[in-house]
A and B are shown apart, each in its own frame.
Chain A
């Protein structure tokens, strides 16, 4: 009875929130959780086939949505937190959105993205069949403490769930060290081709061997800590991937070929030099393989996948404007690299908030290589900063060395978009962290000129 009460009230709350123009992604779940603390376990027990969790620092939403699309293309029903609300309340909201008033879920699968620091909490209620790990970088450090502590926490919760199959990134030494310690069934994916991902930033955060503390020696280096590595002292080295990716440059395109066991082979094209998308796609393809889907349905799933809000989303307001979520140094550096390949004149707007879901500490702005923008400074007509910590961002740009005369500090999101639109340029970029995303996207969408809009988002 308590469950049903929780569901009804939460459903009403979600409907009201939507009426008022909010996304309602966490709100309903929070209410249900208050009324009925074990509601997540109850929902999970109704999933008929498999529960898949996707976790890691970056790429969770894209990877999870690709997996969801594959499951749907294979003809199955599936619950998914598509918008990326990934705390326990967000997961509960996803179930509430798909259940009847009596709380019945008719789903064969659940594919759920989980905040890496909430994994332990979620696993106390949900028993996943498979966990897909994208990567582990530094993220919101005030809440997440250090990478080592996070790894310990994740290891602890996995030890209590021995039957869970793990899918890990070979190229990430943090994740490989996690696999090293655990007796679970494990699969690895990794990029074999020693391609240049244009990275200049060597992130030394996890370059020490997690097993013995010695330095790792990199034979090849992709970005952040991802690469082909061997410990200089102990036996630790990059595991041989079960799903191997080969990348071929074909003029403007990059072609990814992912090969697993028994003729499992998926080929995919990329239009931008976006190392993120390549890894996300590889993780999703490998997950499809681990879940036993055919290469054909994996391919169809990827073709039908559409990126979520704010993942290199395109708008047109007098000029093409690209919106991208970037919430930590690694994510920002990758986005800045993509922008630095665009030689047209542009406005770059950067929004930074410091609400709990963003991380209250904004010092990560100084670990981000905004100096990348200086290389194309002559193509940037204006830098606009907005959000609660707009002045921190303004100072970061000043000390990076930009001309203060090109800097606009916008008091509101609306002002920031105005600045992007009104400053004369060929294109505009809006980069922001999480809690600014939905408000900004709504404004951009409202002002979008449909006729000229690039209505098909790139699959990158």
Chain B
């Protein structure tokens, strides 16, 4: 059998590097490796010549506000390629600051940033939404830690899930994140993927289907991940343990 290989493009790893978000990249790599799938990681920084044709999964983390400006400016150069990739159904996972930048705008006082890849928007406030969060995607529950002053309004787009405990996009409409085709935007740090192996595997599945037409994915021993989920859910609220 020919060796399966996926290409992961880590966007602006030097500037978007807060809150352990790179742990998502490590988790994607490991869960592929454990199944014998090779992952090639391309780091794409400011001014890097972008060739996205072979990329299967894009990843963006969160970053300090001062870095978001640099990223936003540079991202305009790669917007056409990203738009194409999104329409082709490629995976784009964006966390917190990276998520905010995908929208129509992210406004903080006089500064307005944003790529306009999707139609949602974000207004910065002074109050921090910070704490553990549980989200229901319909298929499974996501666990994470949110920490953001931005309030995101989806403008009719679909959320990633419904907030069970925590704040989510704006603390009002119970939505968390965004899901458009295979773009996943979310405020969930933690990092997101180690404690949410189902989402991680969903991403790998989509990428394999896009590239090879393969639909099934080998099961892994996730007993430690499940225990970690049970334990964390219990710390948040003992009645959530069944969501593990």
Binding site for B on A (CB under 8 A): 138, 141-142, 145-148, 204-205, 207-208, 213, 354, 360-367, 388, 390-392, 394-396, 398-399, 401, 404, 409
Binds A, one of B62-70, B84-92, B112-120, B201-209: B62-70
Residues from 123 to 161 in B contacting A, C-beta threshold 8 Å: 128, 130-132, 145, 147
Asked whether, in the complex, the Cβ of A366 is within 8 Å of the Cβ of B22, the reply is: yes
What residues of chain B lie closer than 8 Å to A363, measured between beta carbons?
Answer: 19-21, 23, 145, 189-191
Taking CB atoms, residues of chain B closer than 8 Å to A361 are: 19, 130, 145, 147, 189
B189 close to A392 (CB less than 8 A): no
30 contacts between A and B (CB under 8 A): A142-B128, A142-B130, A142-B145, A142-B147, A145-B128, A146-B64, A204-B14, A204-B17, A205-B17, A207-B14, A208-B67, A213-B66, A354-B235, A361-B19, A361-B130, A363-B145, A363-B190, A365-B20, A366-B26, A367-B17, A367-B20, A367-B22, A392-B195, A394-B224, A395-B224, A395-B225, A396-B23, A398-B224, A399-B30, A404-B224
Extra pairs beyond A367-B19, A390-B231, A391-B228 (8, CB < 8 Å): A361-B19, A363-B20, A367-B17, A367-B20, A367-B22, A392-B232, A394-B224, A399-B23
Is B27 located at the chain interface by the 8 A CB criterion? yes
Contacts of B26 in A (CB 8 A): 366, 399
Given contacts A148-B64, A208-B66, are A366 and B228 in contact (CB under 8 A)? no
Residues of B within 8 A of A207 (CB): 14
Q: Are A395 and B195 in contact (CB under 8 A)?
A: yes
CB-CB under 8 A from A398, the residues of chain B are 224
Do residues A148 and B66 form an inter-chain contact, with CB atoms below 8 A?
A: yes
CB A350 to nearest CB in B, in angstroms, measures 15
B144 to chain A, nearest CB (A): 9
Whether B103 is near chain A, meaning CB under 8 Å from some CB there, is no
* Known A-B contacts A360-B131, A366-B23, A366-B26; A391 and B17 likewise in contact (beta carbons under 8 Å): no
B224: chain A residues at CB < 8 Å are 391, 394-395, 398, 404
B227 contacts partner chain A, Cβ-Cβ < 8 Å: yes
B-side contacts of A367, CB under 8 Å: 17, 19-20, 22
User: Is B98's CB within 8 Å of the partner chain A?
Assistant: no
Shortest Cβ gap from A204 to chain B (Å): 5
Which chain B residues lie closer than 8 Å to A391 at the CB level?
A: 224, 227-228, 231-232
Distance between Cα atoms of A207 and B21 in the complex (Å): 19
Cross-chain contact B194 with A399 (CB below 8 angstroms): yes
B160-189 with Cβ < 8 A to chain A: 189
A147: chain B residues at CB < 8 Å are 64
Of A208, A360, A392, A395, the most chain B CB neighbours within 10 A belong to A395
Q: What's the nearest-Cβ distance from chain B to residue A278, in Å?
A: 27
A366 to B190, CA, bound (A): 9
Chain A residues in 8 Å Cβ range of B14: 204, 207
Please give me the residue from chain A that is nearest to B29 by CB atom.
A399
> Whole-angstrom distance between the alpha carbons of A378 and B7 in the complex?
32
Distance from A362 Cβ to chain B, minimum over Cβ atoms (Å): 8
Contacts of A401 in B (CB 8 A): 30
Per the bound structure, the CA–CA distance linking A142 and B227 in Å amounts to 25
Tell whether B18 is near chain A: CB-to-CB under 8 Å.
yes
- With a CB–CB cut-off of 8 A, which chain B residues contact A395? 194-195, 224-225, 228
Within the complex, the shortest CB–CB distance from A153 to chain B, in Å, comes to: 14
Interface residues of B in 1-56 (CB under 8 A from A): 14-15, 17-23, 26-27, 30
B145 touches A399 (CB 8 A): no
Q: With A141-B147, A395-B195, A404-B224 in contact, is A146–B70 under 8 Å at CB?
A: no
Contact size range, B: 35 or more
Contacts of A365 in B (CB 8 A): 20
Q: Which of B27, B66, B67, B70 is A399 in contact with, Cβ under 8 Å? A: B27
Say whether, besides A141-B19, A366-B26, A395-B228, A360 and B130 are in contact (CB < 8 Å).
Answer: yes
**Chain B residues with Cβ under 8 A from A204's Cβ?**
14-15, 17
Chain A residues contacting B195 (CB-CB under 8 Å) are 392, 395
Q: How far is the CA of A252 from the CA of B171 in the complex (A)?
A: 57
With A361-B147, A363-B191 known as contacts, the answer to whether A394 contacts B228 (CB < 8 A) is yes
Question: With A208-B67, A399-B30 given, is the CB distance from A364 to B20 under 8 Å?
Answer: yes
A204–B195 alpha-carbon span in the complex (Å) = 26
**B27: nearest chain-A partner, CB-CB:** A399
Cβ of A362: which chain B residues have Cβ within 8 Å of it?
145
Q: How far is the CB of A154 from chain B (nearest CB, A)?
A: 16
Decide: A366 and B147 in contact? CB cutoff 8 A.
Answer: no
CA distance A404 to B145 in the complex (A): 25
Interface hub of A141, A148, A363, A401 (most chain B Cβ within 10 A): A363
Chain B, Cβ-Cβ closest to A368: B20
Most buried by A among B18, B20, B27, B66: B20
Query: What CA separation (Å) do A361 and B228 show in the bound complex?
Result: 15
Give the docked Cα–Cα distance between A392 and B23 (Å): 12
Residue in B closest to A146 when the chains form the complex, CB atoms: B64
Chain A contacts of B227 at CB under 8 A?
391, 409
A366 to B27, CA, bound (A): 10
Docked Cα-Cα span, A207 to B70, in Å, equals 14
A295–B110 Cα distance when bound, in Å, is 52
Q: Closest CB of chain A to B136's CB: distance in Å?
A: 21
Cβ–Cβ < 8 Å partners of B147 in chain A:
141-142, 361
| Residues of chain B within 8 A of A354, CB atoms compared | 235
A196 shortest CB reach to chain B, Å: 23
Kindly provide the distance from the CB of B129 to the nearest chain A CB, expressed in whole angstroms. 10
- Write out, one digit per residue, whether chain B residues 194-228 have a CB within 8 A of any chain A CB (1) or not (0): 11000000000000000000000000000011011
List B contacts of A388 (CB < 8 A).
235
Chain B nearest CB, measured from A189 CB (Å): 27
